[in-house]
Chain A
Amino acid sequence: MSEALLSVRNLGVQFTTYGQTNQVLKGVSLDVPARSQIALVGESGSGKTVTMRAIMGLLRTPPARITGGEIFYDGRDLLTMPAKDRLKLRGTAMSMVFQDPMSSLNPVFTIADQMGTILKYADRRLGRSRGKKERMARVHEVLGQVRMRDPERVARSYPIMLSGGMRQRVLIAMALLSEPQLLIADEPGTALDVTTQAQILKLLKDLVEERGLALLMITHNLGVVRETSNYVYVMNKGVVVEHRPTAELFEAPRDDYTKALIAAVPRLTGGTSFGRAGAAA
């Protein structure tokens, strides 16, 4: 997979807080080919969120420090390219779908205002320009694409006026505004009820397939992995312990940690085998 759209090579990140240094990522490698749907799964603290933030360039340095490795996007190393070039990619070529619809929208501005601002500066970074009217037209268009029934009304609303599911759709629309090629989704819908989450994941999958986008789904939920990806990386304690096509992984997990993860999923047929698997891990 050398021709991957996104390729993370041997990434190392450490954090220094209160004089203590922790190597959080110990050489993580993963590939996201164009038009592929990749999942990165692991429990809290496994390093999946740090990996995502490093890719998006959102790590605060300090306390974080990148100790080694490369992140290639479209053949160019994000870590060594000029900051200005990297900023050009953020929110435009690669975009993020945020996890918590309740807290990821600014409560005191309308949806139209927030999406319009994102679009305005994305345009500016890309050397494009369009008037306010055209911007609003685009905002309404994208809100329609995430299957909002009344895009104009949604655009006029403040976040507090929308339901959780609608806000999550707005967050997806925000990510799609500038037609990125790569979407990084940070467990979207985790904060929602199960039915709404299922709808959101379905919507995301449809949008990604319709547009031929690459999707990197960051999650701790194996159900989400099965639903949304065809290749999966399993992370534990700062390293990728196993990576295989999704179907294979569920069929015959090789790594002990992966086995424990799969065994920990509660089953409707009764008996979670959680205790036994936990002991094995």
Chain B
Amino acid sequence: MEFLLFLLRRILWSILVLVGLSIVIFAIARVVPGDPARMALGPTATAEQVADLQEKLGLDKPIVEQYGMFITGLGRGDLGRSLLTERPVNDDIRDTFAATFELVLATITIAFVLGVPLGVAAARWKDKWPDTLVRVLAIFSAVTPSFFAALLLQILAGYVLHILPTTGRLPPSMDFVASVTGLLTIDSLIAGRLDVFGEALRYLLLPATALALATMGQIARITRSSMIDVSSQDYIEASRAFGVPEPIRVFKYMLRPSFVPPLTILGLEFASLIGNAFVVELVFAWPGMAAYGIRTILQKDLNAVMGVVMVSGVFFVLVNLVIDVLVGFVDPRVRLRGSR
């Protein structure tokens, strides 16, 4: 019950955040120089044609009215038409979102599955060589721009070693339409196509790793400091005095209370993750929403840009909501305090 209230409060906040985001993105889109109608029609279009399109898009109306149109469309779940693809933005995003979502999920998984054990090892052997190694690794992964990591991985695994595919989501020879969730890995399992599942994983591995590195480094560092902090707590000493074996102490009594900071960091990292996905998707020709977003920004395709940003925003807010729930699950103090 208390937890539901806590959730409700978070959801209300999230809605406020999204309204704020819609205003900001709307304002930015109008301030950026360049006329979308002129860019869509090309340099050969006559002034009359441009004025026509401007009227059609509502660009000739007062700015407040334009925002009103945008927000009512948003309320109906209608993001308008894209000038670039000449399709409803809704359709474009539906087609590309799943690819990005799958990439981001794989990224988070890699970052967590590698980052947390690295952090635990560093904390367990503090100031010994595993710690030094992890710290160097974490710093390197944090300062390496993801486009550089992407190119490096692509060259190494794709062109030198020839072990992993470098572009796309599936081999062109494979005809499989992800029709249930849009996620190839999940839909292939639903359809019982293990061959597709394997290939999808192989195609995911490089872009997801490139994207995961920075986050992994962050998570390793946070987990390390959080574990070291917890290891000096009285309750860890107490469990030692009661003869609880070390593996249980480290992986149960220390790890669980240490889990909250990396989880929280993950939520915040999520924004930069989506940002970096723009670059990584381009490098790996990943047909995702981020790559779509870049193309539309270059074309000043206003409806599409605002659509992509709004969907990213909703995604960000939802992920952080999920993380809040997880934190409440991991640490009862958060859950119980929420009621006071």
Chain A interface residues (CB < 8 Å from chain B): 56, 58, 87, 90-92, 95-96, 98, 100, 103-109, 114, 117-118, 121-122, 125, 158, 160-161, 171, 174-175
Which A residues are in CB contact (< 8 Å) with B241? 56, 58, 90-91, 95-96, 98
Chain A CB within 8 A of B244 CB: yes
Chain B interface, DSSP helix/strand/loop, else mixed: helix
User: Using Cβ atoms and an 8 Å threshold, which residues of chain B touch A106?
Assistant: 235-236, 239, 253, 257
Report how far A95 CA is from B242 CA in the complex, Å: 7
A161 CB to nearest chain B CB (Å): 7
Q: Total A-B pairs in contact (CB under 8 Å)?
A: 77
Q: Beyond A103-B235, A104-B238: 9 further Cβ-contacts under 8 Å?
A: A98-B234, A106-B239, A106-B257, A107-B333, A108-B330, A108-B332, A122-B243, A161-B336, A174-B238
Give every chain A residue within 8 A of B248 (Cβ-Cβ): 117, 121
Asked if B9 is an interface residue, CB under 8 A from chain A, the answer is no
Contact of B245 among A107, A121, A175 (CB under 8 A): A121
Q: A88's closest neighbor in chain B, by CB?
A: B243
Residues of A within 8 A of B162 (CB): none
Number of interface residues of B (CB under 8 A): 23
Residues from chain B with Cβ under 8 Å of A160 in the complex: 332-333, 336
**Complex: A107 Cα to B333 Cα, angstroms:** 7
Tell me which residues across on chain A come within 8 A of B239, comparing CB atoms.
106, 114, 117-118
Chain A residues within 8 Å of B331, by CB: 107-108
Is A174's CB under 8 angstroms from B256's CB?
A: no
**Cβ-closest chain B residue relative to A113:** B252
B126 at the interface (CB under 8 A from A): no
Nearest CB of chain B from residue A100's CB, rounded to whole Å:
6
A95 to B241, CA, bound (A): 8
Specify which chain A residues have a CB less than 8 angstroms from the CB of B243 in the assembled complex: 87, 90-92, 118, 121-122, 125
A-B contact pairs, 21 of them (CB 8 A): A56-B241, A58-B237, A58-B241, A87-B243, A90-B242, A90-B243, A92-B243, A96-B238, A104-B234, A104-B237, A104-B238, A105-B235, A106-B235, A106-B236, A107-B235, A117-B239, A117-B248, A118-B242, A122-B242, A161-B336, A174-B242
Taking a contact as CB atoms under 8 Å apart, the answer to whether A103 and B234 are in contact is yes
CA distance A117 to B330 in the complex (A): 18
Known: A58-B237, A158-B332, A158-B336. A109 touches B245 (CB 8 A): no
Give chain A residues whose Cβ lies under 8 Å from the Cβ of B236: 106
Q: B238 to chain A: which residues have CB within 8 Å? A: 96, 98, 104-105, 171, 174
Distance (Å) between the CB of B277 and the closest chain A CB?
33
Report Cα–Cα, A160/B243, bound state, in Å.
24
